[in-house]
Amino acid sequence: MGARGSMDYRAAGVDLERGDRAKAGLKDLLGSTSDALTLSKFGTFGGLYAVPPDVTEPVLVSSADGVGTKLKVAFAAGEHGTVGHDLVNHCVNDILVQGAKPLFFLDYLATGVLEECVVHDVVAGVARGCKENACALLGGETAQMPGFYAAGEYDLAGFIVGIVSRARILDGSRVRPGDALVGLPSSGLHTNGYSLARQIVFEAAGLEVTDRLPGHDETVATALLRVHRSYLDVLWPELEEGTVSALSHITGGGIPGNLPRSLPEGLGAEIDRGSWQVPPLFRALQELGAVDEDEMLRVFNMGVGMVVVLTAAEAGPFVRRLGARGEAAWELGRVVERPGVRFQ
């Protein structure tokens, strides 16, 4: 309350000075991701970014996403430095499947009572993701919304814009029956399936974030907060060479829910279930929760973070090229003339 009982913003739960301090502390983080095409400075109302001059018939590709209830694990563990990195990598992968390279990123962070150190850690993770993917963190919004979020909680969303030459857009039109499917490994749960994973770990199994996950040498927090992998570096050389016919980012819905989105109407996929070994994390979740195999495949990526579609002749050389660079990849299955995804 101010003089004579008058009300002010701080009494209502919004501390403008604290917000200003938090935002000032982000200036260097944003500056560390700037490049020659970044035209605006920190603090402007809108971010300015020049369109790269070397892209023929440039098409902008945009996407927005969040990290879902993985945030709940971060809250419980008190670890806030990874979720921003998750957010960037997820968005990068989402536009990569259309052949696009990221240009710039914006984030939205909303909380009840603003904690400056938490804001810094979250945005530092965003900046790390942007630097990893050569993407400018152009700006964003930090909102104080008292009474809207529980104490110690926040929400996080990201917005990305990338670019692709019109002739290089991946839209599934090059996919044919008999094409090969190649799998690239995930780094863990990535950013999907956490509502079920949390129910299994914290409710059914009664574990805490500091407990060891059964059959693992790492804690629950370490296993569940592992950063969502970006596939930009490993796939960009192949996209430039034109060897890739389509890509599918395996997020919520698993392989059955995502692979058909990258295939032409009328085509489907046969997946060789024995072509890869499901990582122990997923088997631990399945056993702790007594989850049916079909449900596991429908909810989680099961160790497959990206599926690459190539001609059958290109698949073997592609896998060998990645192997020579120290990247794991394997032939996962094939495209067939029948809609849907079947595991064999």
Question: pLDDT tens-digit profile of 176-234?
Answer: 999 999 999 999 999 999 999 999 999 999 999 999 998 888 999 999 999 999 999 99
Q: How far apart are the C-alpha atoms of 164 and 98, rounded to whole Å?
A: 8
Output 19 or 156, whichever has higher pLDDT: 156
pLDDT at 93 over 90: yes
What residues does CATH 3.90.650.10 cover in the chain? 180-343
**CATH 3.30.1330.10, the chain: domain bounds:** 3-168
Q: Buried b vs exposed e over 198-229: b needs ≥16 C-beta within 10 Å?
A: bebbbeebebebeeebeeeeebbbbbbbbbbb
Q: Which of 29-33, 96-100, 101-105, 329-333 has the lowest mean pLDDT?
A: 29-33
For the domain covering 180-343, report its CATH number: 3.90.650.10
Is pLDDT above 60 for 9? no
Residue 93 buriedness (CB in 10 A; 0-12 / 13-18 / 19+): buried
The pLDDT of residue 61 is above 70 = yes
Q: How confident is the model at residue 21 (pLDDT cuts 50, 70, 90)?
A: low
DSSP state of 4: G
For residues 229 and 89, the answer to whether their CB atoms sit within 8 Å is yes
pLDDT of residue 1: 47
Q: 7 pLDDT band (50/70/90 cuts)?
A: low
Rounded to whole angstroms, the Cα distance separating 62 from 40 reads 20
Range with the poorest average pLDDT among 19-28, 132-141, 154-163, 288-297: 19-28
The pLDDT of residue 13 is: 63
pLDDT for position 4? 59
What are the distances in angstroms from CA 154 to CA 14, 51, 74, 80, 142?
Answer: 15, 33, 10, 10, 10
d(CA 114, CA 294): 42
Determine the pLDDT at residue 18: 58
SS3 category, 18: helix
Per-residue tokens: 269: 């996929």
**Per-residue confidence band for 30, with pLDDT thresholds at 50, 70 and 90:** confident
What is the C-alpha to C-alpha distance for residues 151 and 173, in angstroms, rounded to an integer?
Answer: 49
Single-letter amino acid code for the residue at 162: G
Measured CA angle at 192 (ends 26, 70), to 5 deg: 45
Q: What is the pTM of this model?
A: 0.92
Q: What are phi and psi for residue 69, nearest 5 degrees?
A: -80, 10
Task: For residue 271, name the pLDDT band (cuts at 50, 70, 90).
Answer: very high
Closest CA to 250 of 307, 331, 290: 307
Do 71 and 155 form a contact (C-beta atoms < 8 A)?
yes
pLDDT at 311 over 90: yes
Residue 10 has pLDDT above 80, yes or no: no
Reply yes or no on whether the pLDDT at 24 is more than 80.
Answer: no
Share the mean pLDDT of the chain.
Answer: 92
Q: What percent of the chain has pLDDT over 90?
A: 80
pLDDT of residue 3: 52
Sheet with 304-310, strands from edge to edge, namely 246-249, 304-310, 180-185, 330-336, 268-271, 340-343
> What SS3 state is found at 11?
coil
Whether residue 295 contacts residue 239, with contact meaning beta carbons closer than 8 Å, is answered with no
Answer for the pair 279, 158: CB distance below 8 angstroms, yes or no: no
Distance CA 277, CA 183 (A): 12
CB 43 within 8 A of CB 148: no
Give me the CATH topology for the region 3-168. 60s Ribosomal Protein L30; Chain: A; (3.30.1330)
Token pair of 21 as six digits: 């301090």
Residues in the chain: 344
| Residue-level pLDDT at 215 | 84
* Whether residue 124 has pLDDT greater than 90: yes
**For residues 312-318, average pLDDT:** 98
